[in-house]
Chain A
Amino acid sequence: MADYMPRLRRYYASYTVGFFAFVLMLAVLERYGMPPRWIGYSFLLLTIFLYATIGVLARTASVAEYYVAGRRVPAVFNGMATGADWMSSASFMGLAGTLYLSGHQGLAYVMGWTGGYVLVALLLAPYLRRFGQYTIPDFLAARYGGNQARLVGVLATILASFVYVVAQIYGVGLITSRFVGLQFEIGVFVGLAGILVCSFLGGMRAVTWTQVAQYAILIVAYLVPVTILSYQVTGIPLAQLTYGRVLQQVQVLEERIFDEPAEVEARRLFRERADAYHDRILTLPESLEEERRDLAARINTLKNDNAQMREVVALERQRRELPRNSEDARSYWETQMHQAAQRGAEPDHHTTAFPGQGESVDELARANFLSLVFCLMIGTAALPHVLTRYYTTPSVGDARRSVFWSLLFILALYLTAPAYAAFVKYEIYSHLVGSPIAQLPLWVSSWGKIGMVSIEDINGDGIVQLAELVLNPDVILLATPEIAGLPYVISGLVAAGALAAALSTADGLLLTIAGALSHDLYYKIYRPNATTQWRLVVSKSLLLVVAVLAATVASQKPATILFMVAWAFSLAGAALFPALILGVFWKRATHAGAVSGMLVGLLVTLYYMVRVHFDSIPWLRIQGIGMEPWLGIQSTAAGVWGVAAGFATIVVVSLLGKPPSRETQDFVESVRYPELDR
């Protein structure tokens, strides 16, 4: 192992230099007229080829290599791999957009997703490493004894990870379809291939080394556009330090724009529209009939007046797209009403925390902010694909150091996301708002074509008002290269970064799911005397099955995908966190306590999410199950109740039963106390 580190450094240094040379070469080729589509293809093919090469070189047939990379990943590299593992397409594409749209409220994600690492470092990583097995259910089984704890752990692992992996593959489909122009479904399966080439042959070993490579690409891709934008706007190429000044300018612009008469008028019109939808919903089903008659009459008058064919066609399409029955009409109009009401609402200042009416503090926003931070932190500290990474370091000390490196590499992205939001907001408020609709900037029209940006001139003055502008959150990151006027190569680089973020996370998750199924379910419970070779065969086949399953679900484009990611955190946190923590810090926690606590935590969270978010589940024919949220907490922070219930159940049930056996207590001590020199 003596010459291991320098060799690794040499490999990755030459790899990074090679990648930069490739980007430069493409930039030169673009100058000479290489079409954007080819640049997109080059990035897609080259990066997947790179990952595949690493995947093949790192193939392995050893169980320790396959599950925990042979436990010889140095702290720094494990940190990078964890960073890539951790930062998903939601962090890469979604975070900047969320911060743009919800200002201070969006910071819950920045705090939650970084603060969770404090819990990982202080409460989990060193103890898991000292325990030194392969999966999280392994730990639960060893601590609490018996296979029930293992089974519940497997269930929670699979539930949380599968939801999350579907979201990643969905992200891959979006990126390939947007930048390379592949069809969404084909993009999903190209992404699937990209994921499998890494994890299939080499397991954790291959995934670790590709993740290090993917981290390098994703962080460069994230930092380059905003650094250049910062240089253009402020003259200093350090976006993280300069965006404070830009935010002050945004504040000034906000004060001017929010009260402009045209802006107030546009908001009033949107509110009127919302009210009109409200009336229509109340008078269903007559209102739908009336709507239909009204459109028919207008089409007839137009036809009689020999009006433009185009207008007639547009109206006829409107008539075709009318909802068929009053149930459809209700849900469709409700969405329309919410959208209109949102656009008509008083806009909030970017940096104001928990804005309420006028100067007041919105208590509900505050409670939701704090509970979301809490859920994301607990979830971070309980997501199995992150925790298993700390099994791969050579020693306990390295595990501790490795959490530091992980957080450092993650912060490189998370500290930059608010800068994206600030710079793009400044750009939009200072240049786009108030400009004539006839002369929109190029990036608006090009992203408008695929529906990521839309402007509706509701007051008909031919000028863009803030209330008239609707942005898809993903566009904040994707459009920055164009806003800064950079060549297409940079857009390709950003796409490659987003792809790396999604692929690396999906790899880690798939491996975790396959590990839980093959190691915990098959080997430990079903067939304890299976041979090593056979275990790897089972693991690899399961990996394939799960991957194809996830891709199939993703290609259905499930509508609630963004919610599902937040739910994965709450589920993992509520089911696993209490049992893991008490397993180390409370010797009195018993098997019965842990199993019931995990189940209660999981069920309370699921119950709350489902009932707050859905009113009906059509495919189960369940209706009218919606409920008022408790204390106004949204479904994304459902884990607050689940974690509390989980802790309480473990404590109560444990105290009611007999204390755990001497053997279990010895196990806890072996995790806590290292061998000391006498």
Chain B
Amino acid sequence: MQLDERQRGYWRRNLWLTAWLLGVWFFVSFVISYFAREVEHILVLGIPLGFYMGAQGAPLIYLLIVWWYARQMNELDRDYGVHDADRDD
């Protein structure tokens, strides 16, 4: 399969988006959790930040990440005129 410049461009943009979002994922999952004790004086809805992130904050951010990725990628597909072979509606 010979790749042209457009395909490379598509893949590059995909990788950038993925890397950025994984960075956010890593930060909320591991960095904030590691410092949970250091940020416990910050209260969100009456809950210390470390606990809040584990219970609500991080899961909601995960949801945003997945939503943003789907939106951006589907838009990218449209820009590049991707044909999904099986799509029949």
- Which of A114-122, A257-265, A286-294, A382-390 faces chain B? A114-122
By beta carbon, the residue of chain B nearest A377 is B29
Q: Does A91 contact B (CB under 8 A)?
A: no
Q: Which residue of A lies closest to B14 (CB)?
A: A672
Please pick, from B11, B63, B81, the residue contacting A408 in the complex, using a CB distance under 8 A.
B63
B48 contact from A245, A351, A401, Cβ within 8 A: A351
B56 to chain A, nearest CB (A): 6
Residue numbers in A under 8 Å from B40 (CB-CB): 351-353
Contacting A at CB under 8 A, from B1-52, are 1, 3, 6-7, 10-11, 14, 18, 21-22, 25, 29-30, 33-34, 36-37, 40, 44-48, 50-52
> Do B58 and A115 touch across chains, with their CB atoms under 8 A apart?
yes
Q: Could you say which interface size class chain A belongs to?
A: 35 or more
Say yes or no: A2-B89 contact (C-beta < 8 A), given A121-B69, A673-B3. yes
The answer, yes or no, to whether A407 is at the interface (CB within 8 Å) is: yes
> Once the chains bind, are A676 and B34 in contact (CB under 8 Å)?
no
Is A394 within 8 A of B87, CB to CB? Answer: yes
Known: A110-B55, A394-B89, A673-B7. A115 touches B37 (CB 8 A): no
CA distance A111 to B86 in the complex (A): 34
Q: Is the CB of A674 within 8 A of B83?
A: yes
- Indicate whether A672 sits within 8 Å of B11 (C-beta atoms), given known contacts A244-B46, A401-B74, A411-B63: yes
Q: Collect the chain B residues with CB atoms within 8 Å of residue A411's CB.
A: 59-60, 63
Taking the closest CB of chain B, its distance from the CB of A152, in whole angstroms, is 27
Which of A170-178, A366-374, A589-597 contacts the other chain?
A366-374
3 closest A-B pairs by beta carbon, nearest first, are: A677-B81, A107-B54, A244-B46
Q: Which of A194-244 contact B (CB under 8 A)?
A: 240-241, 244
Interface on chain B toward A: helix, strand, loop, or mixed SS?
helix
State whether A351 touches B34 (Cβ < 8 A): no
A71, A353, A354, A404, most chain B CB atoms within 10 A: A353
Asked if A328 is at the interface (CB within 8 A of a chain B CB), the reply is no
Spell out B's residues near A (CB within 8 Å).
1, 3, 6-7, 10-11, 14, 18, 21-22, 25, 29-30, 33-34, 36-37, 40, 44-48, 50-52, 54-56, 58-60, 62-63, 65-67, 69-70, 73-74, 77, 80-89
Question: Is A395 at the interface (CB under 8 A from chain B)?
Answer: yes
Minimum CB–CB distance for A13 against chain B, Å: 21
Rounded to whole angstroms, the CA-CA distance of A111 and B3 in the bound complex is: 39
Say what secondary structure dominates the interface of chain A.
helix
A348 to chain B, nearest CB (A): 12
Q: Is the CB of B51 within 8 A of A351?
A: yes
Contact across chains for B73 and A370 when beta carbons are under 8 A apart: no
Given contacts A122-B18, A122-B66, A396-B84, 5 further A-B contacts (CB under 8 A): A111-B54, A115-B58, A247-B46, A353-B36, A404-B63
Closest A residue to B65 by CB, please name it: A118
Asked if A395 and B86 sit within 8 Å, CB to CB, the answer is yes
Cα distance A669–B63 in the bound complex, in angstroms = 29
Instruction: Collect the chain B residues with CB atoms within 8 Å of residue A672's CB.
Output: 11, 14
Interface residue from A108, A394, A669 paired with B86 (Cβ < 8 Å): A394
Contact residues in A for B18 (Cβ distance below 8 Å): 122-123
Is B74 a contact of A245 with CB atoms below 8 Å?
Answer: no
CA distance A425 to B66 in the complex (A): 33
Contacts of B48 in A (CB 8 A): 351-353
Residues A414 and B59 in contact in the complex (CB < 8 Å), given A104-B54, A369-B33, A676-B82: yes
Specify which of B46, B59, B63, B70 is in contact with A110 (CB 8 Å cutoff): B59
The answer to whether residues A354 and B56 also contact, given A400-B73, A407-B66, A675-B82 and a CB cut-off of 8 A, is no
Given contacts A107-B55, A114-B59, A669 and B3 within 8 Å (CB-CB): yes
- A96 → B minimal CB distance (Å): 12
Residues A396-433 near B (CB distance < 8 A): 396-397, 400-401, 403-404, 407-408, 411, 414-415, 418
Enumerate chain B residues within 8 angstroms of A366, measured Cβ to Cβ. 34
Which chain A positions have C-beta within 8 A of B82? 674-677
Asked if B36 and A111 make an inter-chain contact with CB atoms under 8 angstroms apart, the answer reads no
Q: Are A118 and B34 in contact (CB under 8 A)?
A: no
Q: Pull 24 A–B residue pairs with CB atoms less than 8 Å apart, ordered by A.
A: A71-B86, A104-B50, A104-B51, A114-B59, A115-B58, A117-B62, A118-B25, A121-B65, A122-B22, A132-B86, A240-B56, A241-B45, A245-B45, A352-B48, A373-B29, A397-B73, A403-B70, A407-B62, A408-B63, A411-B59, A673-B11, A674-B80, A674-B82, A675-B82
